[in-house]
Amino acid sequence: MTTLEPATPSLRPHWAILLASMLGWTLDAFDFTMLLFLLPHLRQVFGVSLPAMAFVVTAMGLAKVVGTIGWGALADRVGRKLPFIAAILWFSCFGGLSGLAWSYASLLVLRILFGLGFGGEWSVSASLLMESVPEERRGLASGIMMLGFEIGFLLAALAFRVVFPVLGWRWMFALGVLPALFALFIQRYVPESPVWLSRRERAAVRERLELNPAVIQAWAFMAVLNFMSWAIFALYPTFLITVRHLDPSGVFPFIATYSVASIVGKPLAGRLVAHIGERALIVLYLLLTIPSVLLYTLNASTAAMAIGAILMGLIPNSIFGIVPMYLARRFHPGARGTGVGIGWAMTSVSVVAPYIIALVTPRFGLGLSMAGFIVLGAAISAAIAAFDTERWIPAAATAPP
């Protein structure tokens, strides 16, 4: 007599939250990465240096620290859905208003305000998604959610290719108000987290945020991993424009190549993690990142640049495909919004990377500076991830919704 294995739960019943989390991150990334394509142009418009423009990115990321923790704490108190909607409306408003900037200082202030909502959308939607889908499918759901960043990056590159040459930079930012319409979809189709609702109905005591080796490792890992990530993508459009001397039409194919590779790689990482384990996948990917740098910014041939873009998207960037699951499982449900929020806020601590790269570029060149920071970030991230902290992860954090 043959015993049938239980079928793996489907993600189909959770299509709304899966689509909402992915598209929310897509629109968030679209608003954010638009600025990256405009850095060389805006430094001329406002008469400032490359480090000054890179500081706008840094300041925006530091504002994200405050916003991410704040929205996450709010999500633990009032639920995941309302802060999800509010964060999208917030960053859409200030993303669009950035197109009205009349000086460098006004642009800086508007992008700081944008940053307050930028991180909140991700941390709240990640908690909502991980609390809604079956445990067996969280790796894949995590990867699908995270490919939204590359779709947003690709859409920003397309806007730079199509809108910027015709209408200019202000209209590119004006497109940033469009995500506000997405809030209507979330309000209508996305349910509240069943985990949060269950705890409210049972009048459960709110768990305190517990500091243990698994939590500390996760926060440190996110800070250093994103240090590497900022080095990969934040100044990549500037590199293509100023070092490889490409115009908007020449920049787009490389951004598209990088983005498509990431779109393929993140769900793939989400599936692989179930087979080889979280720690093994992360360390393997990070070690493979180091030799991949040689083709990314250190070789001027078109073929090498294309292969480098594929490798950067397919390998290091795909690690982010398991980040929502990686963070969410380390916290009790009652403190998950805050814990995930702090973890995602740690990614903004490393936003100093593009500013430091801009400072050392006059001496080493932009390509070598980017490569050095990528290698450094990959090596340190691998060392942090190699420690086994599984026994400190609370059992309640991995329970099904």
Which range, 100-114, 131-145, 267-281, has the best average confidence (pLDDT)?
100-114
175: left (phi over 0), alpha (psi -120 to 50) or beta: alpha
Looking at residue 371, its pLDDT comes to 93
Percentage of residues in the chain with pLDDT exceeding 90? 19
Kindly state whether residue 4 falls inside one of the protein's structural domains: no
Kindly state whether residue 72 falls inside one of the protein's structural domains: yes
CATH number for position 146: 1.20.1250.20
Kindly state whether residue 121 falls inside one of the protein's structural domains: yes
Kindly state whether residue 58 falls inside one of the protein's structural domains: yes
Q: What is the DSSP letter of 235?
A: T
User: For the chain, give me the number of helices (H) and strands (E)?
Assistant: 19, 0
pLDDT digits (tens, 9 = 90+) for 225-250: 988 988 888 788 889 988 999 888 88
**176-179 contact pairs (CB < 8 A, 24+):** 176/30, 176/31, 176/34, 176/91, 176/92, 176/95, 176/96, 176/98, 176/99, 177/92, 177/93, 177/95, 177/96, 178/27, 178/92, 179/24, 179/27, 179/28, 179/30, 179/31, 179/88, 179/91, 179/92, 179/95
Q: CA angle at residue 210 from 206 to 212, to 5 degrees?
A: 160
Kindly state whether residue 9 falls inside one of the protein's structural domains: no
Domain ranges, residue 344: 14-398
Kindly state whether residue 3 falls inside one of the protein's structural domains: no
Q: Is the pLDDT of residue 5 over 80?
A: no
pLDDT digits (tens, 9 = 90+) for 342-379: 877 777 667 778 778 888 888 899 999 999 999 999 99
Kindly state whether residue 65 falls inside one of the protein's structural domains: yes
315 with 292: CB under 8 angstroms?
A: yes
Domain count, the chain: 1
Place of tokens 């490889």: 244
Q: How far apart are the first and last CA of the chain?
A: 33
Task: Give the residue-averaged pLDDT of 48-70.
Answer: 83
pLDDT digits (tens, 9 = 90+) for 195-229: 777 776 655 555 667 788 888 998 899 889 988 98
Kindly state whether residue 340 falls inside one of the protein's structural domains: yes
